[in-house]
Amino acid sequence: MKKKIYYALGLIIIVIIGYVGYLAMVSRSLSPLKTTAFNHQGLDITVTYCQPSKRGRVIFGEGTVPLLPLGKYWRLGANDATEITFSKNINFGDKPVEAGAYRMYAIPGANTWQVVLNSQLGQSGATEPDYSLDVAKIEVPAGTSPSVIEQFTIDFADAGAAVNMTFAWDKTLITVPITLQ
């Protein structure tokens, strides 16, 4: 009799582990992992994030309806925390930042966004960072796209002496200037 109970418990544990694994795989496929790399005058920038899709949802706004309420922490993607690496010392907006790897997050606003680099790495994106470890916090204007952008993207463009890092999703465009020190 004890043998049957142990087999049943073992089977239940295997089913639970399989179900959790399935949920993790489905979540990843809805927001795939993306790495974007860019080189500008010997500066290598790499950002790793998960790309959520709009899928008919209200993305930014106020109240309980939007996926990402204004004025609240957002990990700049889905699943894991977004991480960015700089090979040289840079200015993030107007804030000096040493070469290295950082967690990057934002606080969306109606007209401006706060974009932040934080030294706390290896954390779940769902967990808010230790704000005392913020390295650079800048405020940038919120722009709009003429068309709806289905999948969240982080991209880079050469802007002469600077690099423009752009976040684009739904009808929102955010540009963060990055320059070499």
- Please count the structural domains in the chain: 2
- Predicted confidence (pLDDT) per residue in 125-169, tens digit: 888 999 999 999 999 999 999 999 999 999 999 999 999 999 999
Identify whether residues 130 and 167 lie together within a single domain: yes
Q: Vertex 82, ends 176 and 45: CA angle to 5°?
A: 55
Domain interval for residue 18: 1-30
Nearest alpha carbon to residue 100 among 77, 121, 123: 121
Mean pLDDT of 112-134: 93
Identify whether residues 113 and 41 lie together within a single domain: yes
* Per-residue pLDDT, 178: 98
Identify whether residues 19 and 45 lie together within a single domain: no
**Model pTM?**
0.82
Cα separation, 120 vs 117, in Å, equals 9
- Predicted confidence (pLDDT) per residue in 21-41, tens digit: 555 554 446 799 999 999 999
